[in-house]
């Protein structure tokens, strides 16, 4: 790999998209480091590797723009090489090779060994999840499986990530121990479908057993669950959650919609009645559990009646945390055969209406926390505040706890008991409890 500049090569990895891409970039960086390569994350480097996202329109646009920006820098002689990997590359490689041929090489989501070879590094299997984390040192995303077997009509992920493959428990325990040794206290479990874990390897849903094993690891204090799926939910997870204080009373379960007509068209395999019952069972099993969900509005054929049904349900269920996205018409998905008949403006209007409703619900729920003390982890200092989270909040997507740094000093990466003194719709303000 000849580069123009005489400087020693420095590889700059740029990550776009979701926490699973962050994980993949960290694994790539761990492998490069183990091969003695100088590697940085989103800093200056003469060799750029862009880990792209290909999920929905906005994300694809951001990925293409990032590629074009770096091609311009290469043509201006600022950098020497541009390599592209990740979901967009997996999904559109032939088109990208034709439309942006200035990229030195494109790699798919399962081509880490080939990418490493091109960067004159070896793929070391024994490294197994050893990685260079890019998140604040106290937490790490922890991918327990890859791919997805579900048929959700709107989703392109199976096209980019393939079929579901669980990582063996013993490998995950080894990874987690190495993270704990490097100071990680919080594992954020991620997958395309967390609750499918083990069905391929152990012929049974084995998430509970994995949680038991991870909870034994010294140094790990919080274990958080993201991306659960509503059907076939392994309820034994709640036995572990109630027994093991390390398992956060938190569950992220994207539900996407609630109108039976839309759920059927989305091929979600559930109904309003079953979903409502499931959430009530969750709340009965773990009182005070923090439930996060994601919804899609503007799906093909979504009528005002369907939307009203969704809105009323959000009012009734009062999720602790909720995100809402507008439908993106993705080619080669089943929903792409339907007419994308809800105008973009109307999609946006519906999404804002849901988020306004959620802001009110979140404000009301937050008022109940004023005067109470919560064990929090401090992630960073930002301006005049230390920024932390309670057990009910995941990084980047949920609420934060702010402490006045002009009056108090807190250690980043440390747990501390904080007393909530004021609450906004999403953020909380606190002081150290005496």
Which sign does the torsion angle of CA 90, 91, 94, 98 carry? negative
Q: Which is nearer to ligand SF4, 89 or 192 (CB)?
A: 192
In order of 223, 307, 353, 372, 396, the CA distances from 239 in angstroms are 14, 35, 36, 26, 28
Closest separation between CB of residue 325 and ligand SF4, Å? 11
Dist. CA 293–CA 226, nearest whole Å: 10
- Closest approach of Cβ 210 to ligand SF4, in Å? 18
**Least distance from ligand SF4 to the Cβ atom of residue 54, Å:** 13
Write down the least CB distance from residue 86 to ligand SF4, Å: 15
Q: Which is nearer to ligand SF4, 152 or 240 (CB)?
A: 152
List the one residue out of 122, 125, 116 whose CA is nearest residue 11: 116
Minimum CB separation of residue 336 from ligand SF4 in Å reads 14
Distance CA 227, CA 296 (A): 15
Residue closer to ligand SF4 by CB (options 150, 311) is: 150
Nearer to ligand SF4, 153 or 366 (CB): 153
Overall residue count recorded for the chain in this entry: 434
- Which residue lies nearer to ligand SF4 by CB, 29 or 279? 279
Residue with tokens 């490069």: 32
Tokens of 273: 């009645």
Binding site for ligand SF4 (CB under 6 A): 148, 150, 152, 155, 157-158, 192-193, 229
Is 407 exposed, middle or buried, given 0-12, 13-18 or 19+ CB atoms closer than 10 A? exposed
Q: How far is the CB of 149 from ligand SF4 (least distance, A)?
A: 8
Strands 145-146, 139-143: pairing kind: unpaired
Instruction: Sort strands 105-106 and 186-190 into parallel, antiparallel or unpaired.
Output: unpaired
Strand-by-strand arrangement of the 47-52 sheet: 38-41, 10-15, 47-52, 81-86, 105-106
CB of 155 to ligand SF4, least distance (A): 3
Looking at beta carbons only, is 56 or 96 nearer to ligand SF4? Answer: 56
Q: In the sheet where 247-252 sits, what is the strand order?
A: 139-143, 186-190, 222-225, 247-252, 290-297, 321-326
Angle separating helix axes 207-215 and 169-181, nearest 10 degrees = 30
- Closest CB 265 distance from ligand SF4, rounded Å: 14
Q: Which two tokens stand for residue 433?
A: 């409890």
Residue in the block written with tokens 């980047």:
396
How far is 75 from 54, CA to CA, in rounded Å? 25
For residue 236, the minimal CB distance to ligand SF4 (Å) is: 20
Q: In the complex with ligand SF4, which residue's Cβ is closer, 161 or 350?
A: 161
- Give the nearer residue to ligand SF4 in terms of CB position, either 215 or 258: 258
Q: For 178-318, where are the E strands, in sequence order?
A: 186-190, 222-225, 247-252, 290-297
Choice between 49 and 152, CB closer to ligand SF4? 152
């Amino acid at each position: 790999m000849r580069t123009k500049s005489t400087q020693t090569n420095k590889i700059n990895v740029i990550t776009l998209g979701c926490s699973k891409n962050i994980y993949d970039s960290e694994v790539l960086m761990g492998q490069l480091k183990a091969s003695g390569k100088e590697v940085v994350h989103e800093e200056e480097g003469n060799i750029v590797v862009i880990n792209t996202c290909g999920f929905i329109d906005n994300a694809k646009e951001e990925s293409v723009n990032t590629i074009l920006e770096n091609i311009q820098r290469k043509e201006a002689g600022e950098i020497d090489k541009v390599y592209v990997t990740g979901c967009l590359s997996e999904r559109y490689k032939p088109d990208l090779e034709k439309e942006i041929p200035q990229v030195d090489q494109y790699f798919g989501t399962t081509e880490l060994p080939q990418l490493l070879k091109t960067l004159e590094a070896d793929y070391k299997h024994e490294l197994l999840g050893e990685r260079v984390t890019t998140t604040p040192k106290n937490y790490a995303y922890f991918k327990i499986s890859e791919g997805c077997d579900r048929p959700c009509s709107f989703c392109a992920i199976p096209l980019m990530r393939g079929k579901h493959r669980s990582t063996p428990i013993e490998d995950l325990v080894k990874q987690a121990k190495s993270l704990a040794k490097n100071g990680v206290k919080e594992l954020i479990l991620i997958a395309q479908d967390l609750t499918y874990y083990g069905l391929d390897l152990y012929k049974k849903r084995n998430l509970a057993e994995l949680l038991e094993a991870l909870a034994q690891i010294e140094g790990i204090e919080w274990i958080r669950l993201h991306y659960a799926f509503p059907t076939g939910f392994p309820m034994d997870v709640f036995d572990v959650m109630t027994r093991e204080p390390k398992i956060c009373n938190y569950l992220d379960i994207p539900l996407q919609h609630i109108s039976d007509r839309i759920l059927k068209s989305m091929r979600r395999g559930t109904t309003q009645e079953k979903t409502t019952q499931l959430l009530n069972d969750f709340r009965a099993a773990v009182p005070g559990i923090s439930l996060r969900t994601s919804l899609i509005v503007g799906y093909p054929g979504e009528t005002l009646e369907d939307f009203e049904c969704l809105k009323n349900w959000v009012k009734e269920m009062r999720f602790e945390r909720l995100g809402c996205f507008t439908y993106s018409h993705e080619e080669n998905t089943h929903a792409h055969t339907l007419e994308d008949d809800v105008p973009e403006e109307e999609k946006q209007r519906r999404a804002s209406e849901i988020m306004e409703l959620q802001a009110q619900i979140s404000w009301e729920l937050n008022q109940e926390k004023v005067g109470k003390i919560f064990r929090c982890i401090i992630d960073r200092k930002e301006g005049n505040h230390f920024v932390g989270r309670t057990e009910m909040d995941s990084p980047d997507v949920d609420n934060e706890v702010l402490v006045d740094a002009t009056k108090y000093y807190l250690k980043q990466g440390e747990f501390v008991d904080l007393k909530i003194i004021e609450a906004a719709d999403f953020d909380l303000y606190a002081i150290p409890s005496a």
